[in-house]
């Protein structure tokens, strides 16, 4: 499995970062930049002890600046991408872990209104069930990417959020680790997402998305809940779409009831009629155009897009969730 490919797609899609250049000469040295960033950190109310401790350990990570160069989605279709991201061994592992954690996942799913299979699917796609979380110092890479300047405001906000995490959760600098872009833990949350959505899943008083699966499960579920997830609905389905369909209707921007898509010639993947219900507004997606896979997606898919605005990511998660669901796990 090419984990560098997968991680580049996921993190790149989350932030839609362009290819990054080297710092411009007029930005001054990294040390000068940190002097100003330190003042901003103190002005933001970060405790002085936290600021002093963190800034004494910050380093420029040129590798983080250079990491966002490939665009894997332009090099693959879902036919080649899905087998890489969701190979059979991952399906088997997902089903095994679902069974192992079923009681806990059921309780968390009921609390937050999210079906457990989607929690496990996110866990698997984001971090390979906690095996691929990244080992970069989050504060250094976010400071480095802010200094680079292409997305300074974004990464400065993430840097300040990471400082708040360090202070609030009493996490040492060296333990606050993540991807080259600062995505952290088994959920690969950016620091701002951690502050907004991290949960204490097992009631031990900590929000440890790095080494505690319970906290990771609860955090993922809470994120989806807050994004509008509905436990009574699923995500969507693969369908057949006639070549005559107006391509301007394709995309999340267009919502229609099943009957409207039925009238336009859209059918279930097996050729049968669409569901006979008009209480949902659904959209047609074609991530690879007319020659690729076609989907009807529902509001839960829209909620998932708040996690990562990449259809390749969304389809990967939902595909794994279906493989967890069928056949039923004893």
List the chain pLDDT tens, one digit each, 330 residues: 444 444 444 444 444 444 444 444 467 899 999 999 999 999 999 999 999 999 999 999 988 777 644 434 456 899 999 999 999 999 999 999 999 999 999 999 999 999 999 999 999 999 999 999 999 999 999 999 999 988 999 999 999 999 999 999 999 999 999 999 999 999 999 999 999 999 999 999 999 999 999 999 999 999 999 999 999 999 999 999 999 999 999 999 999 999 999 999 999 999 999 999 999 999 999 999 999 999 999 999 999 999 999 999 999 999 999 999 999 999
Cβ contact 320:90 at 8 Å: yes
What is the rounded distance in angstroms from the CA atom of residue 294 to the CA atom of residue 247? 12
State how far the alpha carbon of 294 is from the alpha carbons of 72, 131, 286, in Å. 20, 32, 5
What pLDDT is stored for residue 76 in this prediction?
82
Distance from the Cα of residue 169 to its chain's centroid: 22
C-alpha 221/C-alpha 298 separation (Å) is: 18
The DSSP bridge partners found for residue 285 are 295
Residue 28, C-beta contacts closer than 8 angstroms, at least 6 positions apart: none
Give the H/E segment covering residue 102: helix 102-112
**Nearest C-alpha neighbor of 103 from the set 329, 279, 306:** 329
- pLDDT number for residue 70: 43
């Amino acid at each position: 499995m090419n984990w560098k490919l997968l991680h580049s797609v996921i993190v790149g899609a989350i932030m839609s970062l362009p290819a990054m250049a080297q710092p411009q000469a007029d930005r001054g040295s990294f040390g000068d930049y940190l002097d100003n960033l330190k003042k901003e950190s103190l002005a933001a109310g970060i405790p002085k002890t936290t600021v002093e401790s963190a800034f004494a350990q910050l380093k420029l990570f040129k590798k983080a600046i250079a990491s966002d160069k490939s665009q894997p989605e332009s090099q693959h279709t879902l036919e080649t991408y899905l087998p890489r991201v969701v190979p059979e061994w991952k399906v088997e592992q997902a089903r095994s872990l679902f069974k192992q954690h079923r009681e806990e996942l059921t309780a968390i799913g009921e609390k937050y209104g999210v079906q457990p299979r989607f929690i496990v699917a996110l866990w698997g796609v984001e971090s390979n069930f906690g095996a691929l979380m990244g080992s970069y110092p989050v504060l250094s890479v976010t400071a480095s990417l802010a200094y680079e300047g292409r997305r300074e405001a974004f990464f400065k906000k993430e840097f300040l959020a990471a400082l708040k995490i360090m202070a609030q959760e009493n996490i040492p600098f060296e333990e606050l680790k993540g991807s080259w872009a600062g995505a952290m833990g088994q959920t690969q949350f950016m620091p701002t997402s951690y502050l907004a959505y991290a949960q204490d899943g097992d009631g031990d008083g900590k929000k440890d998305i790095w080494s505690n699966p319970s906290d990771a499960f609860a955090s993922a579920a809470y994120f989806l809940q807050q994004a509008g997830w509905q436990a009574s609905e699923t995500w969507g389905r693969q369908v057949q779409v006639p070549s005559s369909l107006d391509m301007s209707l394709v995309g999340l921007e267009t919502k229609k009831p099943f009957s409207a898509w039925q009238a336009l010639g859209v059918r279930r993947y097996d050729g049968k009629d669409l569901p006979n219900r008009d209480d949902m507004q659904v959209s047609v997606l074609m991530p690879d155009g007319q020659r690729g896979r076609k989907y009807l997606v529902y509001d839960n898919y829209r909620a998932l897009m708040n996690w990562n605005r990449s259809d390749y990511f969304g389809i990967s998660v939902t595909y794994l969730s279906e493989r967890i669901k069928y056949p039923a796990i004893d």
